[in-house]
Amino acid sequence: MSTMRAIYAARRELGIEDDEAWCGKLESITGKRHLSDMTPGDQVRVLQELRKNGATRTKRLDGPYAAKLQALWLSAWNLGIVRDRRDSAMLAFIRRQTGIEHTRFLRDAADAKKAVEALKKWMAREGGVDWSTGEYRPAWWNNPRAQVVRAQIARLVMDGMITNEGEDGNFLRTFGGIEDAESATDAEWIAAQERLGQIIRYRLGSEKR
């Protein structure tokens, strides 16, 4: 689901029917009254705020390993290597790796590891994610969500989509919305992935035209 569609779904879920009230809410979040006037980053902020107000995220699949696999799949989508973010596409990937039809039946740790490791290797190979950790690195470097964000930034820099000078922290702040990497929460890293994913998918869409 695109960010725009997710916003409209959240609006319906929250019961915001009055257009003036809706425009006022958008303006209070971004300073803009219409989604069409917003940047991808503005739209992500709107979606985050609606979720804080009670709108739900994508329905979770059943199974002890489902949440981890969904998180990795969405991270790969935000890296631009997964082209279909739907659960059905993820389940097809899991079936190819394990022969198991659904996450609700994926209960053996060895089977789950096959799917997780295959996905992580794909993200490393095609998306440039460095999953390695080290005690002499800043603590946030070892956070898997931050590792994905760093790979997203590296990809955009390499492709010339973002070009500002400075240290990693400036890139994180300017393009990921991360003010302090050391204290950033998992929710903030996920939001950064979504924000950067918008830029990556825009680039991929532009290449197709």
What residue spans define the domains of the chain?
3-52, 66-127, 139-208
| Nearest CA-CA partner of 144 in 46, 43, 55, 74 | 74
Q: What is the Cα Rg of the chain in Å? A: 18
Other C-beta atoms lying within 10 Å of the C-beta of residue 191: 22
12 vs 89, which has greater pLDDT? 89
Question: Is the separation of the CB atoms in 33 and 21 below 8 Å?
Answer: no
Task: List, in order, residues 6 or more apart from 41 with CB less than 8 Å away.
Answer: 177, 195, 198
pTM of the model: 0.71
CB atoms within 10 A of CB 174: 13
CA 30/CA 43 separation, integer angstroms = 8
| In contact, 43 and 191? CB cutoff 8 Å | no
189, 142 Cβ separation under 8 angstroms: no
Q: Are 201 and 80 in contact (CB under 8 A)?
A: yes
71 vs 209, more confident: 71
Tell me which amino acid residue 108 is: D
Residue pair 151/128 in contact (Cβ under 8 Å)? The answer is yes
Taking CA atoms, 119 is separated from 41, 93, 145, 149, in Å, by 27, 9, 14, 16
For residues 5 and 98, give the distance between their C-alpha atoms in angstroms, rounded to a whole number: 32
Structure tokens that stand for 136 in this block: 């002499």
Q: For residue 209, what pLDDT band results from cuts at 50, 70 and 90?
A: very low
Per-residue pLDDT reduced to its tens digit, 2-49:
677 788 877 877 778 778 888 888 988 999 988 888 888 888 888 888
The 10s digit of each residue's pLDDT in 100-149 is 999 999 999 999 999 999 999 999 999 999 999 888 888 899 999 999 99
> 123 and 134 in contact (C-beta within 8 Å)?
no
